[in-house]
Structure 1
């Protein structure tokens, strides 16, 4: 057996090369001096692996004073330093929340004219309908603030902050079903496998905090409706250290971060140092960048053992903060508690915080479903905006609220005076943004009297993504990554910055 093994080893040049790395003299040369490991450690700080010092403006606010990183970013003066994206999974009904259509009350129950529907694509749930009865919203609308924005009574708390919001009422997208539509918004492609928005920003700009991930996702507990997948905050083909890290409620916010039972962790630093040296040798042998990414992840996990318990502890928050976010904010894992957690993460300069809330898929009992989901999210959303503003953070924090598509004006299934359902509608829906260079108290875009087609200032998903990157100082056409022989970007080969919504 030994002779056979020796013969195989002598005929395998790759194995010989590896053994050379493990030669006793080479081992002590690399590890006793430690210079290579020290240099590697300095390079593998989370924000330094792909970027240099993050840009800092001079007193004259001149873009020439910014230090660009190794990717040449930012391309221009950024307005946003961080973002919280409040993703409302399922497709909130714009017609029952923000896009008020008073003329529909007189047309309740009438068939939607063919000229309005114009042969647009339908889901399999509506394709067999022989009639498309108009369902005017049964919720009450009023105008609020100096901006006189229309908001339904399902969102009483959000109505208090409308003058900080920029409503985009001409949103449209390509996908009509949930999974491809959510994937399209989060990654720029309907097909899985592409990097998420947060991963692109992490790759392009790096981190402002050595002790927490650049990109963190939070999912409301006890969510119902269409499932959410971790690939929505995945890194795709980008290096793995740019993957979003999911924080959960409970005693272990990050899985596998804590020490095993009966292990005190006293020698963890020593273990990681030796592991880094061994991985450094592997990198010298193979040159695989994923080895460096793995080292960076180990180091981040080590630092997170201290930073995560601190940032996830809300016990020191004053009562008035909990009161502002609502009673659910004391219940970890709820939407309101995640909004409060998002503020704490943003305070620690986590660059991208993503919240997911499921349950906006009202194919039946739309009025009751909208009220229920609004009750779960309205106060937390408004409180987060108020909280960021009172701390002076809204100026450079971008807030985004929206789902993957909107809902139809016609009722899916049976229509009564008090009840209706709405099917998916990708051709016209509403989102809103706030802070970080977005016009406050502003409404952009307009739909027809049926809320079915956009008649002014359409904004495509890729336009939204291009604008989001622009606010971070990134030209969406220039942030690319070569994969399998092709250069990819978040917006593929589409997208225009919506400059009219920017200050």
Structure 2
């Protein structure tokens, strides 16, 4: 097979298209080959006869698109491995590393340690990052904010989070999270994909691969990136919601905060939907010919993605039109929820996606990398996210969606109790900290009002019930009815899993 773009080999050997396809690549395609393709190659006549009987006289182009889109949303599993407690996930990702001792890990005895060096018996052999390795002192910086007990559970919560404090009886706080990475890029990759090496599928992609979606008009995995407003703008990228070695149709779809959440939602001037339907049918026919010849499953993914894009032209404008929301919505989420791209807007959008059956929504909020201005930046970050976070949990609960929607809040690691740089009563900084941090979960089978794990008096090391990211991911999959050891994809001779090859445990104490 020759392609025009490959015809010019500049006189040096054969054209790339004349070279044999490597045996390993052929075998990989063969393993990924769909049943439809197998039947088509094995017996076209049998395949067409079976299809004719199923179609009962044939389908129009739009009907074929509907069937293709619907089948394209299915997962690799016939169904959950066991009865799930959650049908969908909303993951609020606080990119940068929120300081646990300023928000969820209350340490009342630290006030007397202000500006004293963290004892070597506590710091041990832990290596600081390059940003604090040159410090000769490691002065303790107690939280500047007070804590109060809230809810029937009596949870201690920072005064920075007055709204979320109202939801404490619905959430479970894990104070003993820990990670293997100390810098942002590997840590955020590990948190989102289960691996510090780029190129692995994200959590949402694994869910889409395993279970698919019942919504044929919206993606199975939607990403909402909140506008940066304050703090250190630690970058994020599409690797965090990519599909890795899985089919590209499982990757997260990023909705923009601009006027059009998705580019080219409107048809060009002079083109109506009938013309567009004809064009899509023609493109699908060409792609199908390519698939019949080569068997590359990514060709089928491309067909499915084109059809999904066409259906999103109708579904996305309806999704993002908030005109049907009552005044009670704005009373709950606040007026900033009317500003596209704000964290509050994205929380409201996450609720609307949950209502429409989207299985996985991830909301990113950057700015939590508080190296040098905790007192200045942290109150602003909390003010921007606190009310909206509570609103999302409360809204899901009042609509009867919280019981089967798993909500997760957290970042990629924690922060140090010692100050980075200078220290005063009015300000301090905190470096990265991998040995312990806090994260919470709510709904979807989680026992509300409980805490899991504990840290020492300096929020520096775990003293009870450590929870690794692998354990967290195993627990998330368990809530979805998936055995993390049985959701696999064979790649490079290994049965790849979200939780990797090391031992991972479902944290059953968190479950109802």
TM above 0.5, one fold?
Answer: yes
Q: Which residue of structure 1 lines up, in the alignment, with residue 392 of structure 2?
A: 384
Whether 1:122 and 2:128 are equivalent positions in the alignment is yes
1:329 aligns with one of 337, 362, 365:
337
| Gap change, CA 1:452 and 1:270, over 3 Å in 2 | same
The aligned runs of 1:102-181 (5 Å cut-off) are: 102-181=108-187
Structure 1: distance between partners of 2:172 and 2:73 = 36
1:455 aligns with one of 436, 450, 463:
463
1:186 aligns with one of 168, 189, 192:
192
Q: Deviations along 1:245-270, whole A, 9 cap, x unmatched?
A: 01112321012343234433431112
Q: Which runs of 5+ in 1 are unaligned?
A: 15-20, 52-69
Q: Which residue of structure 1 lines up, in the alignment, with residue 254 of structure 2?
A: 246
Q: Aligned pair count?
A: 466
Contact 1:335–1:380, Cα closer than 8 Å, also in 2: yes
Structure 2: distance between partners of 1:331 and 1:272 = 34
1:304 aligns with one of 309, 312, 315:
312
Query: What is the aligned-residue RMSD (CA, Å)?
Result: 2.6
Whether 1:221 and 2:227 are equivalent positions in the alignment is yes
Contact 1:217–1:355, Cα closer than 8 Å, also in 2: yes
| Gap change, CA 1:35 and 1:501, over 3 Å in 2 | same
1:198 aligns with one of 193, 201, 204:
204
The aligned runs of 1:25-174 (5 Å cut-off) are: 44-46=68-70, 48=72, 50-51=74-75, 70-174=76-180
Structure 2: distance between partners of 1:467 and 1:220 = 26
Contact 2:106–2:156, Cα closer than 8 Å, also in 1: yes
Q: Deviations along 1:374-417, whole A, 9 cap, x unmatched?
A: 01100000000000000000000000000000000000111112
SS of structure 2 residue aligned to 1:354:
strand
Structure 2: distance between partners of 1:266 and 1:38 = 9
Q: Which runs of 5+ in 2 are unaligned?
A: 1-6, 8-13, 21-39
Structure 1: distance between partners of 2:225 and 2:71 = 25
Larger mean Cα displacement after TM superposition, 491-500 or 345-354: 491-500
SS of structure 2 residue aligned to 1:420:
strand
Contact 1:126–1:412, Cα closer than 8 Å, also in 2: yes
Larger mean Cα displacement after TM superposition, 466-475 or 482-491: 482-491
SS of structure 1 residue aligned to 2:463:
strand
| Gap change, CA 1:268 and 1:112, over 3 Å in 2 | same
CA drift at 1:315: 1.5
SS of structure 2 residue aligned to 1:436:
coil
Structure 1: distance between partners of 2:509 and 2:489 = 29
2:294 aligns with one of 286, 289, 295:
286
Contact 1:116–1:452, Cα closer than 8 Å, also in 2: yes
Contact 2:453–2:462, Cα closer than 8 Å, also in 1: yes
Whether 1:373 and 2:377 are equivalent positions in the alignment is no
Contact 1:82–1:349, Cα closer than 8 Å, also in 2: yes
SS of structure 2 residue aligned to 1:267:
helix
